A and B are shown apart, each in its own frame.
Chain A
Amino acid sequence: MADDRESYSPNLIRMWRAFRTCKEMCKDRGYEMLEEDYQITLAEFAAKCGREDGDVDRSRMNFSCVPSEEMLRKYTAPPTAKNPDPQPEIGKIWVEFNGDENVGLKQLRDYMQHLVQGSYYNGVMVTTKPMTGMALRLLRGASGIKEGPMGGVEVFVEQELLVNITKHELVPTHVLLSKEEKEQLLKRYRLKETQLPRIQVTDPVAKYYGLRRGQVVKIIRHSETAGRYASYRWAI
């Protein structure tokens, strides 16, 4: 209603959609997020990130957020004798929109340095085009490597974020299990995690939720005949 689309450039509208998807993604992963933040209108977005010439200033789209109590709990392993006070394996995230025509090792390494210096736990980098092969190679080995942030770097291409795939009616609800919940599940059914059906971490839905190898998600579906039912997948 308030958004008179014809008065905005197509690129600004595009970036507004990518921005909203990113915000929703962070909210859905469990970060703290205000409703007005992820439901930003086009007019508000244009006022915040629009340039004089009608295009978008990507540097003004960057944002960070912190995990909610619930998310911190979910990412904390149950205490053991060896580790009586486990720390959450999650923290502050930095989301950056890079407008460069080509993104390679240089930008990625600068970005990683920025995350480490700002003590971010992990980062999401959104690029206009896919990164170079070598940058992706660095990324594959990046998490846990001294030069990068503890939680690694995820990359998205703007195109992937124009729609929020999890809002599609055919995509069932995915809920991440905590380590404790995962252990309970396996114990209850006397399973090894390798016996669970799998989901690849590169799967678009897994990527949206930032699933890590070894995590288990509960998938809740709705069926006309069976009602609500759930299954589990082990992320590989």
Chain B
Amino acid sequence: MTKVEPVTPVESAEPARAGRSRRRRIASLGVLVAALGTIATLYAGLAPAASSASNNDPAIQAGRQLFLQGCSTCHGLNAEGGARAPSLIGVGAAAVDFQVGTGRMPAQAHGPEMPRKRPVYDETQIQELATYVASLGAGPAIPTNLDYQSADVAYGGALFRTNCAQCHNFAGSGGALTYGKYAPSLSDATPRQIYEAMITGPENMPVFGDKQITPPEKLAIIDYVKTIKAEPNPGGAGLGRVGPVTETAVSWLVGIGGLVIITMWIGSKA
């Protein structure tokens, strides 16, 4: 994990401007080291299954087989990384579950960003892969407590707007980042994947350690994301929930466009 960014509220109107975020990145190196330490210890405690598994655990063996077939060309025979892909030692089970579960891995074309796809592996295979990678070094485990429905949704909304909206937009509809990267829509992510995204910080997304956003707060965020996704648009068609740009398109094409056609029709009757 090399791309930790601070979760302090961004005060500028433009999300993630390269220069500023670089400065912030340097400033937060200390935070990073501390966070990594915390995460490592925390998850060693949280994930006894992964860390106590011995090397001849059948799940690890099966996972290793899958890894050799599907992942090693890029990530190396022992997940040590290579020219084409980073090392996976210490990324933890959560990262594997997220990356493979969202279909991002195994990667295909190398664009600016790995898009979400249909997963290649089934649930057991993903578990095996995750167990294998987790056995290589301690990292965030797959979250088990996902009882988000009882969380405080309004608080989750406030946290979401402070920590996530600047990239994913106010309703989780996604948005552009710098250099061809984008924060995807959150509409397809499962609660577990949302949690995992926060603790592993895929690609340009920062890691949200448990110090910055506590586990109950994470559940509140998940609750908010899921609630507004399930909520119907009380005002009619949602127009993508991206703000005034689509409203503009509708007002031009349907509104004025329609009225101009009506004027032409009336004019032709005269």
A and B interact: no
**B residues with CB within 8 A of A:** none
**A residues with CB within 8 A of B:** none
